[in-house]
Amino acid sequence: MTVPLKPLRESRGQKKNKSKKSQSSPKNGSLVAYLSKSPEYNGTDYDPVGTATIRFNPDNSFLFLIDADGIDPACDACTVVVTDGASCDDPGKNYFASQDDPWATGLNFYSSFSDGGSTNSAFRLTNEYGSSDMMDKPVVVYDSKDEVIGCGILGAEIKTEQLLAEMGAYPDYAGNLTVGGMIKVEFNRDDSFLFSYDLEGLEENCTGCGIHIHEGTSCDTPELVMGHGWNSIAVQDLWTPVGGGIYNSNEDGDAKSEFYLYNGFNYYENHGHAAVLHGQDGTRIACGLLL
């Protein structure tokens, strides 16, 4: 379904009854959307990845922060809006309860600051909705030509930045190993993380075997797992023996240890991605989603 692009920035006149305005307060929690390429964007120039965070003030105005890479490097004042749709496939119209559309004021913009296309921008806005109203709403990101390139769905902010993956068989794995166990990723303030694992059912005495976070967000098929996940704009691929992305198993096929690593992505950008184990010959033997 194709959604008209330019009209999203114009006043929609959603003259909602103000009695529907949320009575929520900042104590109801901040919201975060994990941004990625919009289903509406068919180009290859941009591949947005990052977060949009909304933190509410007592009067239900909010601070909107966008931290993303892979965007249009020509953005001087590119638009970002919250819409009333149910998904990024059908984002709908600008979301507001006031008589005039605050998303059409020109205040809701972000700027890129590098040739690679990155932003760390913020603005303050009021759409007369609070935290509970804006939960599950799409955030829509435009480029400098007013075309939609990115989208994400607002959800509750996670305060404990820790991801867990329960490991199981890699899709289409035909070997005789039955791998189980957990991977835990705990993030530091600088977005580096402690990657720890407690695994069983591995090859005996597997030395320097690969253990990685991958780009894909599913363990259903090998195609969806994809390759190593790292932000090439920010860092080199450290999911290598030199970078530290390895494990060693003992004579019983167990492995338990930890290491620090940085892949250029924060908690939100790693959330939902596949963790993958390799055998001694590089075969992918296990997969699990970091949640």
Query: pTM above 0.75?
Result: no
pLDDT band of 28, cuts 50, 70, 90: low
Q: Which residue has the higher pLDDT, 143 or 190?
A: 143
Domain check: are 214 and 107 in the same one? no
Domain check: are 21 and 141 in the same one? yes
Average pLDDT, the chain: 89
**17 burial class (0-12, 13-18, 19+ CB within 10 angstroms)?**
exposed
Q: Are 71 and 150 in contact (CB under 8 A)?
A: yes
Per-residue pLDDT reduced to its tens digit, 122-132 = 999 999 999 99
| pLDDT exceeds cutoff 90 at 191 | no
Top mean-pLDDT range of 8-22, 103-117, 253-267: 253-267
Per-residue pLDDT reduced to its tens digit, 245-288 = 999 999 999 999 999 999 999 998 999 999 999 999 999 999 99
Domain check: are 12 and 96 in the same one? yes
Per-residue pLDDT reduced to its tens digit, 206-218 = 999 999 999 999 9
| pLDDT exceeds cutoff 90 at 39 | yes
In a domain, 26, yes or no: yes
pLDDT at 73: 95
Domain check: are 58 and 84 in the same one? yes
pLDDT at 250: 98
In a domain, 234, yes or no: yes
The count of other CB atoms within 10 Å of the CB of residue 122 is 13
Tokens matching residue 162: 């820790």
pLDDT band of 86, cuts 50, 70, 90: very high
pLDDT at 27: 41
Q: Residues of the chain with pLDDT > 90: what percent? A: 78
Domain check: are 84 and 127 in the same one? yes
Span 39-59, average pLDDT: 92
In a domain, 1, yes or no: no
Domain check: are 73 and 195 in the same one? no
pLDDT at 22: 34
**CATH at 108:** 2.60.40.200
Domain count, the chain: 2
In a domain, 116, yes or no: yes
Domain check: are 133 and 174 in the same one? no
In a domain, 204, yes or no: yes
Among 122, 156, 190, identify where a domain stops. Answer: 156
Domain check: are 265 and 243 in the same one? yes
Top mean-pLDDT range of 5-9, 11-15, 105-109: 105-109
| pLDDT exceeds cutoff 70 at 174 | yes
Domain check: are 253 and 121 in the same one? no
pLDDT at 268: 86
In a domain, 281, yes or no: yes
**160 burial class (0-12, 13-18, 19+ CB within 10 angstroms)?**
exposed
pLDDT at 116: 72
Span 74-78, average pLDDT: 95
Among 126, 156, 186, identify where a domain stops. Answer: 156
**81 burial class (0-12, 13-18, 19+ CB within 10 angstroms)?**
buried
Domain check: are 195 and 76 in the same one? no
Q: Residues of the chain with pLDDT > 70: what percent? A: 90
Domain check: are 90 and 218 in the same one? no
Domain check: are 264 and 199 in the same one? yes
Among 156, 190, 213, identify where a domain stops. Answer: 156
Span 95-115, average pLDDT: 92
Residue 60 CA to residue 136 CA, distance in Å, equals: 17
Tell me if residue 20 falls in helix, strand or coil: helix
| pLDDT exceeds cutoff 60 at 21 | no
User: Which residues constitute the domain of residue 140?
Assistant: 6-156
Label residues 260-285 b or e (16+ Cβ within 10 Å = b): ebbbbbbbbbbbebbbbbbbbeebbb
